A and B are shown apart, each in its own frame.
Chain A
């Protein structure tokens, strides 16, 4: 899973895609995932981190994560 190169994410969860000129807003969880994706962390690493720090079990997180990735693909934010 790779983000497009020049995607910019602000501190406040605002995402700008210079390729399309479109903007998006992210909640805390979404912002964190985008940050990890930018750092090219694997799905496993991301999932572990969330399960350790948040009130969420692995199955729920992975389910939500996959759904989120599908949305990113639909918005053409990923490569």
Chain B
């Protein structure tokens, strides 16, 4: 039989004389055919479509890059893994094995950290929702409790009355760092004196161990300067405490908020070209602390609760094209098997999506839809994308932060999460949902049986 020719789908494109696209040339779309050396096709065949893939190598490398940026500029630095960003136990254990403590914001996350083997005195407990039982437990375990509001302060004072151990506390401080909108709903305000007032009450009560000061000024901060402002303000509070009470705090916690390399919706340039590096953030924070009036012989430990910037790059979704379609006005649309229910961050990022193999050098303006029967299910509203066929594979990049915790079961079942270890072996770290696993939580009343 005669050998058949290689097929490419028919394509016609209009030539716009003199008009180039936004980046001055017709760039060919890159392809992601493998993740840490494992072919995408193999991953999909083995674990199904779609799947979430995490690269352990990338997690460790990113963590060490961030750590180096700070430890080369400041004497004592401690990272605490922000659980809500990605609390898959395997992920948490990678960070803990690198020396990260745990940063948690609920009783659920707190218990998760304990069961991941984190000692109580290496857990930072943040957030507005800590029950009295949570606070009692954290006190008994010697965890660092970051007080969010006065009601919590009073709860802690009453716990201190009856506990053998003194609660170890810090306050969360919110402040004007020159960014808009200012985050003022968490913690005590700096400018109006509320933070200073809370610190005074804690010191006067003599029942709590005030060990630190905390802030988290926002998320996806696109310039390092506000961190400098925030670090100076916390340093100033620390210096005042020392003057008035002769009390030295042990640490300053700058929270999270470093931008990842994702591109925000509406941004003109890609995030990977615009977001600051770890070095730039580290420079702003270290300079502010070192240049403050803090005692240079006893500088407080610098805590960091970096979330998205440490994990976004390590996560991928691999999946398949379900269908192609023309919209009424002739625009092309492509339906893929990942919806916004699984890719929560698609509400604020223009996620990078690539074909898993070379298909064609032609691309066309395309709208990429998820599989849900819902109008809001749009992954990319316009992207120049090559014409993939039904069943072809794609890869979505930089999805490691917040998706594996904020995803929701809706219309479809959530897929597996796979970890690729540094030797290139793959491991299921979360099974896919099944009808049984979901319905096992449901109860049918007797009269409906």
Contact = CB atoms under 8 A, between A and B. Distances in A.
A75 B12 contact: yes
B446 interface: no
B14 A24 contact: yes
A27 B7 contact: no
B389 A60 contact: yes
A26 B7 CA distance: 14
B423 interface: no
A75 B7 contact: no
A19 interface: no
B330 A71 contact: yes
A18 interface: no
Interface residues on B, range: 20 to 34
Given A23-B15, A24-B14, A53-B4, A29 B330 contact: no
Contacts of A73: 330
B10 A33 contact: yes
A54 B6 contact: yes
Interface string A21-52: 01111111110110000000000000000100
B7 A29 contact: yes
A10 interface: no
Contact of A55 (B6, B15, B324): B6
Nearest to B15: A23
A54 B4 contact: yes
B13 interface: yes
Contacts of B7: 29, 50, 54-56, 61
A71 to B, nearest CB: 6
A52 B245 CA distance: 89
Interface in B1-25: 4-15, 17
Nearest to A74: B330
Contacts of A22: 14-15
A27 to B, nearest CB: 5
Contacts of B14: 22-24, 75
Contacts of A65: 10
Interface residues of A, number: 31
A27 B8 contact: yes
A60 B17 CA distance: 33
Given A70-B326, A70-B330, A27 B4 contact: no
B360 interface: yes
Contacts of B389: 60, 64
A40 to B, nearest CB: 18
B12 A26 contact: yes
A65 B11 CA distance: 10
B5 A54 contact: yes
Nearest to B6: A55
Interface in B317-351: 324, 326, 330
A55 B10 contact: no
Nearest to A27: B11
B324 A24 contact: no
A75 B390 CA distance: 24
A14 to B, nearest CB: 8
B362 interface: yes
Contacts of A71: 12, 326, 330
A30 B11 contact: yes
Nearest to B326: A70
Interface of A: 15, 22-30, 32-33, 50, 53-56, 60-61, 63-65, 67-68, 70-75, 77
Interface of B: 4-15, 17, 324, 326, 330, 360, 362, 389-390
7 contacts: A23-B14, A27-B10, A61-B7, A64-B389, A68-B12, A70-B330, A75-B14
- List 5 tightest A-B contacts by C-beta distance, closest first: A74-B330, A30-B10, A54-B7, A56-B7, A29-B10
Given A22-B14, A24-B13, A27-B360, 15 more contacts: A15-B12, A25-B15, A27-B8, A27-B10, A28-B8, A53-B5, A55-B4, A56-B7, A64-B9, A65-B10, A70-B330, A71-B12, A71-B330, A72-B12, A73-B330
